[in-house]
Chains A and B, each alone.
Chain A
Amino acid sequence: MSDEPKLTLIGKLFLLLILGACATGAWWAFNRHSAAAPGTASGASVASSSASAIPGPSEAVPSGGNASQATLPGAVGSIEIGVAYGTEKKRWLEWAAEEFPKTAAGRGIQVNLIPLGSIEAAQAITGGDKRIDAWTPAADLYTDTFVREFELKHGRPPISQQEQLALTPMVFVSWGERTQPFMVRYKEMTFKTVGEALKASGGWGGIAQKPEWGFYKFAHTHPSQSNSGLMALLLMAYDFHDKTRGLTMADILDPKFQGWMVDIESSVVEFPNSTGNLMKDMVLKGPSSFDCVLVYESVAIDYLKNAEGRWGTLQVTYPRKNLWSNNPYYVLATPWSDSRRQAAATALMKFLISEPAQKMALTHGFRPGNPAVPILFPESPFTTGQKFGLKVDLNGICESPKGEVIHNLLVGWNNNVRPH
């Protein structure tokens, strides 16, 4: 037998207590490690003090395919719906996705925002993308084609309910410093004068004795990828034929129009795939990148203030002929959608046209679809933005042409304008 001392039960318990304390300490250290980088002594305190710098899981993720989420933790019978949308409404819809679940009607409804271009979204829904329960493109230009193709494939109409959420026209946005000499030279800003500036010999040297400004640079979005790009082509067609309704196939196929349109378009600097990205690029890179762009009025309003702190003021000019982007909202009656999801999508639609949501739309530059919400009041962007050229009353509003007219306009552009 060993004559070494043995531990009593109390001694063992005491030692177990110490071991337990060590384990607890180590577990605490591990948890702390998980909350902070390895080797960071002050990780926990930094995490709490800087947490606001990074959006949480419920916050929006930028466009690129991943959904934004607004969750209602612990909600009984929660349901998830997907909303495909045009990125021009990104900021407003992200706000709505956050706020809607806080309302009585939205309790338990999680909204996944899916950024998709109009054509892309129509194809996804027709192709059976089960994530999408509602769709809100920038305009209803593609709706006829979408409905026709969906019915052909699925044998049923795809839309159960719809509402017009907000309105916005198209605008030319140019740098204030350069707008004035442009107007002195050309008197007005139209597609015709923009086209002349693009072709001006010596660029700005020929336009306003400013060779250091380089060539005149104009851009709009890609007509096959972005609704505002298609709007640009339609406005050119209406402007060329000087009409506001009844745009026909003959008008589109007119060789004079085709030649004129191709002449302008071949000088366009760039055709980005998103209106928001185009406007953001203009503000980030200044006049060196674009002298003038054609975008939605709402997008321009969203960036007017930002530009002031960078390159100076922006000036908004309305084209002679214009088109409304009516931002429709479609509740989809697809074979894979059930009544609960359709009801949830309908509830979101009602929230979006409610007065609080419409007021928020206005702050993001949209003209409310709900007539009960006023546009002009002292804090309205349409009041404060008058110095930038914003105005409420517009002339020369054109009607949406038929699907075949739009289709042929796009075919002509794709065939004759250099692709990017």
Chain B
Amino acid sequence: MTLAVQCLNDRTGKGEGRPAFYVMKALFTFQLRIAVFLCLFMVGTLRMAAQNRVELVFAYGSEKEEWINEATAAFNRLGAKTAEGRVIHVQGLPMGSGECMDRVANGSLKANLVSPASGIFIKLANAEVRTRTGKDLVGETENLVLSPVVIAVWKPMAEALGWGSKPVGWSEILSLSKNPDGWGSLQAPQWGQFKLGHTHPEFSNSGLISILAETYAGAGKTAGLSLVDVTRPEVEDFVRGIEGTIVHYGASTGFFGKKMFQQGPGYLSAAVLYENMIIEANSGKYPLPFPVVAIYPKEGTFWSDHPVGVVDAEWNSAEQRRAAKRYVQFLLAPEQQRRALAFGFRPGLVDIPLASPLDKAHGVDPSEPKTTLEVPKPEVIRAVGQLWQKAKKHSRVVLVMDTSGSMNSGGRIENARKGAAQMLRLMKDEDTFSLLAFNARINWAMHSQQLAQGRATAEKTIASLWANGGTALYDAILAAHEDLQKSPDTGKISAVVVLTDGLDTNSKTSLELLMKAIRFDSENNNTRVFTIAYGEDANKAILQQIADATQAKSYSGTPENIESVFKDISTFF
């Protein structure tokens, strides 16, 4: 640098006396050029890097998210290349298994490889795509990991059912659910009624598996379930009996597990979960009041076998397909498979023996299940879905909609109307719907209408909402809650869905009084309040508090995502 400065001074002959100024100026000019050059160079480099990569989109069932996240990060760090010399980069997209296969089948998600939680979803998607294109969506698959679907039960309750001394299954749960004394029939009246949770079968693998297992148990079969079986009255009675104990449905198996382990036996006696979730619960992740154990239904269950396969679609190039196979090989390598075992999954690689934490100390039995069920044909699966629609626990829903003046801004009211209409579409004809619109006052726009008759009216009423005035949020929630509680119906799921974009400004009811009135009590006060904090001005903390008090769920909504928020809420009904 000294030499450069010397040269610089020699050239001008004017540096004497003020070389520092010129040096600084020259350096500044130089640095500017270098900066411009480097920016251009970096842009070029990044473009070249992008061109030198093969991107793979991997859509998979969210049950294995933690393991896949870890394994995919390790794979991407390796910098594995295709035969063409391009670096393979995998982007994992965890989602519900049903959603995963639906979106890939209809082309709205251009995934290169998929792994739903169960082969049932591959079978259904292939059947659907084959009717359109004449070929399967996914060809040969390999099992990444395995985990049987089990009934997770608090250990004292499982023992009361006979767990540990005899085979237990759906029939024990049915007789308990039909007994008006509930747990009292098993000398445990202090536990109240038996309460079961499983996910919505149209959105989640474990929900679909639950209703298939219930139907098989009702038909007394383990294979060859037929359309005739599904229409038998005693099978419908069996499914109706089990479904009558449902607390509510939901989109995510993980949500049920988490809620059950956090809220304790007062919230759920049992839930249909994956075996690995029992292991996770008993590994110290939650402060459990009792251990949780896995009941492997004696009538049989299904394996969640996590098949992985390459998508046979025009967007998947030959290079991407080969790259996808490299990635699958990586996931099936011993190192990754051993990590899967640590996450509570049974490895898909036969060379790895089953060991801790797959043991009785973690509430599971590696020698189970003793019996598994045959995956029915696609048309039978669809018929079971229709049977569930008839036999499921239906809902009473009050939609509490903020129509205060602030809802006029940013298209909030328009999008909220669209979201509410979306929820309405997903509700069944047997469900009952009320609409309570509020600003400074509360107005019953529609009250307790069964949707079989009132759907069109409900749609019109929602579409006619407009915004003006203040916000009497607490009064509105209290009114909706009291309306459902004054005529309790344990045969239905009772829920209030609240959408608001601001703070309470006009209520006579205090927050303290509201919380006292709505707090969940499994025997007498079991209406759940789902809340949507719509936009930035809503008080998310208070709305979360309200949802938590009723063991429901709180959402953050925006005009952009509000339809998907309502869709998610509808999976609880």
Contacts and interface: CB of A to CB of B under 8 A. Distances in A.
A287 B370 contact: yes
Interface in B4-40: 4, 7-12, 14-15, 22, 25-26, 30, 34, 37-38
B78 A53 contact: yes
A303 B350 CA distance: 8
B41 interface: yes
Nearest to B346: A284
The interface residues of chain A, by DSSP majority, are classed as: helix
A8 B15 CA distance: 14
Contacts of B38: 22, 26
Interface string A109-134: 00000000000000000000000000
Interface residues of A, number: 62
B189 interface: no
A371 interface: no
A13 B80 CA distance: 40
Given A30-B49, A50-B74, A212 B298 contact: yes
B42 A26 contact: yes
B470 to A, nearest CB: 49
A281 to B, nearest CB: 8
A51 B41 CA distance: 30
Interface string B314-329: 0000000110011011
B326 A54 contact: yes
A6 B12 contact: yes
B369 to A, nearest CB: 4
Nearest to B143: A284
B350 A310 contact: yes
Interface stretch (B199-207, B264-272, B330-338, B461-469): B330-338
Contacts of A5: 8-9, 11-12, 14-15, 22, 25-26
A212 B167 contact: yes
Interface in B357-383: 366-372, 374
A283 interface: yes
Contacts of A284: 143, 146, 305, 346, 348, 350
B139 interface: yes
Contacts of A6: 8, 11-12
Given A3-B14, A46-B78, A270 B7 contact: no
Nearest to B26: A5
Chain B interface size, under 10 / 10 to 19 / 20 to 34 / 35 or more: 35 or more
Given A22-B34, A63-B140, A64-B140, A7 B8 contact: yes
Nearest to A23: B41
B485 to A, nearest CB: 44
Given A50-B78, A54-B78, A61-B329, A10 B3 contact: yes
Contact of B353 (A11, A64, A310): A310
A36 B79 contact: yes
Interface string A317-334: 000000000000000000
B513 interface: no
Nearest to A27: B45
Interface in A14-36: 14-15, 18-19, 22-23, 26, 29-30, 33-36
Contacts of A66: 321-322, 325
A32 B170 CA distance: 57
Contact of B79 (A18, A47, A311): A47
A145 interface: no
Contact of A62 (B11, B325, B336): B325
B335 A40 contact: no
A311 B45 CA distance: 53
A40 B328 CA distance: 22
A61 B298 contact: no
B364 to A, nearest CB: 14
A396 interface: no
A214 interface: yes
B179 interface: no
Contacts of A29: 45
A364 B10 CA distance: 82
A285 B371 contact: no
Nearest to B325: A61
A19 B369 CA distance: 67
Contacts of A4: 12, 22, 25
B512 interface: no
A62 B329 contact: yes
A306 B142 contact: no
Interface in B364-418: 366-372, 374
Contacts of A309: 352-354
A35 B87 CA distance: 7
A213 interface: yes
Contact of B52 (A10, A15, A34): A34
A85 interface: no
B351 interface: yes
A200 interface: no
A54 B7 contact: no
Contacts of B353: 308-310
Given A15-B30, A54-B78, A64-B139, A283 B350 contact: yes
A236 B369 CA distance: 31
A383 interface: no
Given A5-B26, A306-B350, A11 B329 contact: no
A53 B333 contact: yes
A269 interface: yes
Nearest to A44: B79
A288 interface: yes
Contacts of A34: 49, 52, 79, 87
Contacts of A30: 45, 48-49
Nearest to B298: A212
A46 B78 CA distance: 6
A206 interface: no
A366 interface: no
A8 B8 contact: yes
A354 interface: no
Nearest to B167: A212
Contact of B41 (A26, A283, A311): A26
B76 A40 contact: yes
A53 B370 contact: no
Contact of A285 (B49, B303, B322): B303
Given A62-B325, A269-B223, A54 B146 contact: no
9 contacts: A3-B12, A5-B15, A8-B8, A11-B4, A11-B7, A54-B75, A283-B350, A288-B148, A288-B300
Which 4 pairs between the two chains have the least Cβ-Cβ distance? A309-B353, A214-B371, A37-B76, A8-B7
